[in-house]
Amino acid sequence: MASQTLWGGRFKEPLAEIALKFSSSIEFDKLLYEEDIAGSIAHVEMLSSCKILTASEGRRIRSALRAIQKEIETGKFKLTFEYEDVHSAIEQRLTQKIGALGGKLHTARSRNDQIALDERLFLRTAIRETSKLVINLQRVLLYKAEKNFGVLMPGYTHTQRAQAIMLSHHLLAYISMLERDFERLQDCSRRLNKSPLGAAAFAGTPFPINRALVAKKLGFDGIVENSIDAVSDRDFILEFISACSLMMMHLSRCAEELVLWTTKEFSFAQISDSYTTGSSIMPQKKNPDMAELVRGKTGRVYGALMNLLTTMKGLPLAYNRDMQEDKQPMFDVVKTARESLYILAHVLVHTTFDKYHLEEELRTDFLTATDMADYLVTKGIPFREAHTITGEIVQYCVTHKMYFGNLDLGTLREFSPKFEPDIFDFILPQTSVERKQSAGSTSPQEVKKQIVHWTRVLSKRRV
């Protein structure tokens, strides 16, 4: 078997084929070939710098590694299950190309620090690309908030109508959520940006290597100081998946609202045909499947987090083969999170809001009840008493199948003599929104401040 060249001297019998298939990770860790080759090239350059390899040997190995990368990319060299993992596949191909010199590549390192390096390199790039998609979704939400500035809608608590708010204010809330997601990704990137290479199996190496040089060549901020921690740590993957779990929760909440808002019962919004699907049996159906899939894929990311937490929770130091199982959840989360961010941005671009229906819904409900209570407070009535009076008025309207707009001053004064003609302007939804004064509120001036803030932040943001 091809894999036996890595440790064959110790064993009298070759690895059974079913054992090789069971233990092989090449099917999924082949995705790390670019990172593996980049790490190997930096390692060889360091070995040459430290006189562990000659300059000529270093050049030959580097040249062969670059050639192998091209072979993989063109399909000339296929990473198949006969190899145990991507590292052994590349090393064995290297030996085929340049002979025994290829075996010197593994001087002063182990597959333990090698895979830890590859994963850090992979996630560093993945975080950068995911962060760009977060920014893009924030910009889409900002565009929608600007385009719909001035549109009012019912705001909800307990999934029950509560108060009138600006639609822009509601959309901006998701930008704030995504900002925390962005910050968590950047924090994760900073913590993972340390090189584990040179820890070897876990105890270090007697060769006079320069770990800091490799770290610098690969763009790391430094090295993982403790060699045991360097090969046994997977916190950086867990932290990334955890950050993505929170982010997917935010995406799922947004998707859920799109699902609700596009129902006949709500009719707040409509998604274009190009981002909806029909039914195989019911001709009238128009389903928000893209939003539903984002909502559904959130569970995959949560599952990946529990998967890896469970894998790691009982492992003694240092490296254990269980840790081979870290890659599939990592790859799946990267793919799922990026695709979800991408599709939700497109769905939102192709979503329109029904301004007139939203306004009608505000008129035919009691969303300014708090404003009526506040009005009575301005007339000197304690809030708790004002709350009771307003509740009685709401009950009166419900009993008589009326709304606030159907009331006259005489009827209102039966509940409190403090009501004056100005109450009718006070309880208009537009007035309710405009009267808000607290920072970050739904008033037009405060929402405008938020739009200006996010425009400034997102126009300058680069990752």
Using alpha carbons, select from 348, 181, 162, 329 the residue that is nearest to residue 261: 348
Determine contact, residues 408/109, Cβ cutoff 8 Å: no
Determine contact, residues 355/144, Cβ cutoff 8 Å: no
Q: At 39, which amino acid appears?
A: G
Give the list of residues 6+ apart from residue 209 with CB closer than 8 angstroms, or none.
46, 47, 50, 52, 108, 198
Q: Is 158 a catalytic residue?
A: yes
Assigned token pair, 77: 């060299």
Burial class (CB in 10 A: 0-12, 13-18, 19+), 226: middle
Residue whose pair of structure tokens reads 């409190």 in the numeric block? 416
| Phi and psi, residue 208, nearest 5° | -80, 65
Please pick, among 63, 272, 279, 453, the residue that the annotation labels catalytic.
Answer: 279
Give the list of residues 6+ apart from residue 227 with CB closer than 8 angstroms, or none.
198, 199, 200, 202, 203, 204
Sign of the alpha-carbon torsion through 139, 446, 146, 257: positive
User: Which helix H or strand E contains 444, and what residues bound it?
Assistant: helix 444-460
Determine contact, residues 222/195, Cβ cutoff 8 Å: yes
Assigned token pair, 316: 């003694």
Determine contact, residues 40/93, Cβ cutoff 8 Å: no
Please pick, among 158, 280, 438, 459, the residue that the annotation labels catalytic.
Answer: 158
Assigned token pair, 167: 């639609």
Assigned token pair, 119: 């994963």
Find the DSSP H helices in 313-418.
327-349, 355-363, 369-378, 383-399, 409-413
- The Cα 215–Cα 197 span in angstroms is 8
Determine contact, residues 138/144, Cβ cutoff 8 Å: no
For the CA atoms of the chain, what is the radius of gyration?
A: 31
Q: Is 110 a catalytic residue?
A: no
- The Cα 217–Cα 431 span in angstroms is 61
User: Which helix H or strand E contains 322, and what residues bound it?
Assistant: none
Determine contact, residues 228/317, Cβ cutoff 8 Å: yes
- The Cα 372–Cα 385 span in angstroms is 12
Catalytic residue numbers read 158, 279
